[in-house]
Structure 1
Amino acid sequence: MIQKPTLLVLAAGMGSRYGGNKQIDGFGPSGETILEYSIYDAIRAGFGKVVLIVREEILQTAKDLLLPKLEGKIEVDFVLQSIKSFVPAEFQNPERVKPYGTAHAVLCAKDAIAEPFAVINADDFYGKEAFEVLGKFLIENVRPDLHAMVGYAIENVLSEHGTVSRGVCAMNESNQLIGMVERTSIAREGDKILAKGDGEVLEIKEGTPVSMNFWGFHQDVFSDIEKMWLDFLPANKENLKSEFYIPTVANNLIQSGEAAFEILEGGKTWFGVTYTEDKPVVIDSLKKMHESVEYPEKLWK
């Protein structure tokens, strides 16, 4: 029997640049969240379960929003991420308020997932093609030593309203990831795409694949993540802003030779909300998709 993959949604972010909980903000014609389009696309791509990582403050709101719409359509589970999750007492710092990052969020779902799974951000629209290609990979090709990432061309994932952070990828001739660098201040300036930081300015060529945090993993990766996490904690105990990222996990697995990552070419359409000013663009894009019947008039019936 084919094992249906799970969709793991990272929805515990603070939304500081956006100014609110964009994970549960409405953008579609009937007030749909961006997350609902991802779940809809995942269902039609063959996913069997969705697990949402949330903060305790928005747990009930997320349940009230999603459970009535998804009942009978896909299995749903919720997992909490807090700054104490999977943190032994000796490494807890009462002064810390910042979440520990995306790889820590994935680790929080360790006990809720026992099958191959995809990871996405709640506030990014990835497009149905991305779910189709990654769903196929997770059903047919994933192994403990072979994971995947959906790649997006850098020029298609910028914001007109400020800088963005992206994982800039290097790959080999076999379309496998060989390394990724998180660039935190990327924007178009004239006819160039520039990344600025630490006193340097780097031009990124159009067509360069970047990570939009759309990953596909074999479930065995949880043990790898946990090992790295237990190394991360003592090294960063006094750094209240340190974060444990998925690209860090990927880079470590690649460099150690423990696993490879295929870069899948499903990233055709992307948009998201980093800033409040991005909201009208997202609303208009979704409206057009409904008008072209890419999505039904009402997403859930």
Structure 2
Amino acid sequence: MDTTLLIMAAGIGSRFGGGIKQLEAVDENKHIIMDYSIHDAIEAGFNHVVFIIRRDIEEEFREVIGDRIEEICRKYKVSVAYAFQDIDDIPGELPDGRTKPWGTGQAVLAAKNVLHTPFIVINADDYYGKEGFRAVHEYLVSGGASCMAGFVLKNTLSDNGGVTRGICKMDDCNNLTEVVETKNIMKTTDGAEADGITLDTDSLVSMNMWGLTPDFLETLEKGFNEFFECEVPENPLKAEYLIPTFIGKLLEQNKLSVKVLRTNDTWYGMTYKEDVAAVKESFRQMLKNGVYQEDLFSDLAIK
């Protein structure tokens, strides 16, 4: 079965370099986190890659990332396509003074014309590990419709400050019932807390790694129209259409079932500038331990 890796990269800055975190090399061979995600997705069985970017960065993105990835993907019979997120691509008028993007929900909708297979959606600048890609791919090719990789909270924390995580609530069959957005989660000597409340560090959290099907896009688009009717008028400059929030509403209304697939891999991101050194050291250790090869894609089977 054909499956697609959908990478939300529209948040990359309009000029490359200058400390753009998505382009921070994490190993001595100048690979970025996105390279590792693409490697892990291909290894898991995904055979299409779609980048969601903005039109104004297309030329630079292709030069720095896209052309290189396309050349690699050709060896493995993996296609590469682009979708473009546009602040004006909305079911209504752009509010005066609005400069903020419309969020991850609109980003995914931007790819609706190139998404023809079950797909996994990820952030460009997050490292998810191999297990999540394998679990989501297996679920999708087995006929599953909607799923989410659930990361163990303690494997997603920063040593350098508070983070926001969507803590998952599930039923006895690991179906998602609610995502509780929890802000300012701080690592402590014996676990984690948020605003003085101790948290269970073995809880599963959402890191925006979703497995979905093209059918979901119709529901997502309908929700975007409703968002513009109901929420944008109340907060025209800052309202955002976010996938976790929208899925949460569908769960409340019993209009969607989402399976939570536990992954024990450590999530890495560069939330703080101080995280960069620790992330690079983690990749150094993974390379040393043989999790990845120095020549990153060399261990994949050429088709």
Q: Percent identity?
A: 37
Q: In structure 1, what is the Cα distance between the partners aligned to 2:52 and 2:181?
A: 22
- Aligned residue for 1:168? 167
- Aligned residue for 1:256? 253
Classify the secondary structure of the residue corresponding to 1:183. strand
Read off the aligned partner of 2:122 and give its amino acid letter. Answer: I
Read off the aligned partner of 2:48 and give its amino acid letter. Answer: K
Number of residue pairs matched? Answer: 287
Q: In structure 2, what is the Cα distance between the partners aligned to 1:23 and 1:120?
A: 13
Structure 2 contact 170–178 (Cα < 8 Å) conserved: yes
Structure 2 contact 204–262 (Cα < 8 Å) conserved: no
- Aligned residue for 2:9? 11
CA shift, 1:256, in A, is 2.1
- Aligned residue for 1:70? 70
CA shift, 1:202, in A, is 4.1
After superposition, the Cα gap between the structure-2 partners of 1:266 and 1:153, relative to the gap in structure 1 and judged at 3 Å, is closer
Paired residues for 1:213-228 under 5 Å: 213-228=208-223
- Aligned residue for 1:185? 184
CA shift, 1:191, in A, is 3.3
The more displaced of 149-158 and 176-185 is: 176-185
Q: In structure 2, what is the Cα distance between the partners aligned to 1:126 and 1:100?
A: 24
After superposition, the Cα gap between the structure-2 partners of 1:57 and 1:195, relative to the gap in structure 1 and judged at 3 Å, is farther
CA shift, 1:152, in A, is 0.8
1:148 aligns with 2:143: no
Paired residues for 1:10-159 under 5 Å: 10-13=8-11, 20-64=19-63, 65-71=65-71, 72=74, 73=76, 74-85=78-89, 87-90=90-93, 92-143=94-145, 147-159=146-158
CA shift, 1:14, in A, is 5.6
After superposition, the Cα gap between the structure-2 partners of 1:99 and 1:170, relative to the gap in structure 1 and judged at 3 Å, is same
The more displaced of 285-294 and 220-229 is: 285-294
Q: In structure 1, what is the Cα distance between the partners aligned to 2:12 and 2:22?
A: 9
1:206 aligns with 2:201: yes
Q: TM-score, normalised by structure 1?
A: 0.89
Q: In structure 1, what is the Cα distance between the partners aligned to 2:273 and 2:120?
A: 27
Read off the aligned partner of 2:50 and give its amino acid letter. Answer: V
Classify the secondary structure of the residue corresponding to 2:239. coil
Q: What CA RMSD, in Å, does the superposition of the two structures yield over aligned residues?
A: 1.9
Unmatched runs of 5 consecutive residues or more in structure 2: 299-303
Q: In structure 1, what is the Cα distance between the partners aligned to 2:294 and 2:189?
A: 39
Structure 2 contact 9–53 (Cα < 8 Å) conserved: yes
Q: In structure 2, what is the Cα distance between the partners aligned to 1:206 and 1:228?
A: 33
CA shift, 1:20, in A, is 4.4
Unmatched runs of 5 consecutive residues or more in structure 1: none
Q: In structure 1, what is the Cα distance between the partners aligned to 2:215 and 2:117?
A: 9
Classify the secondary structure of the residue corresponding to 2:223. helix
- Aligned residue for 2:243? 246
Classify the secondary structure of the residue corresponding to 1:149. strand
1:281 aligns with 2:283: no
After superposition, the Cα gap between the structure-2 partners of 1:164 and 1:266, relative to the gap in structure 1 and judged at 3 Å, is same
Deviations 1:52-86 (A, max 9, x none): 1112343222212232343213211111212212x
CA shift, 1:192, in A, is 4.7
Structure 1 contact 51–79 (Cα < 8 Å) conserved: yes
- Aligned residue for 1:237? 233
The more displaced of 184-193 and 110-119 is: 184-193
Q: In structure 1, what is the Cα distance between the partners aligned to 2:84 and 2:48?
A: 17
Read off the aligned partner of 2:116 and give its amino acid letter. Answer: A
Structure 1 contact 27–282 (Cα < 8 Å) conserved: yes
Structure 1 contact 14–20 (Cα < 8 Å) conserved: no
After superposition, the Cα gap between the structure-2 partners of 1:292 and 1:154, relative to the gap in structure 1 and judged at 3 Å, is same
- Aligned residue for 2:301? none
Structure 2 contact 91–228 (Cα < 8 Å) conserved: no
Classify the secondary structure of the residue corresponding to 2:214. coil
Q: In structure 1, what is the Cα distance between the partners aligned to 2:9 and 2:22?
A: 6
Structure 2 contact 118–213 (Cα < 8 Å) conserved: yes
CA shift, 1:237, in A, is 3.1
Read off the aligned partner of 2:210 and give its amino acid letter. Answer: W
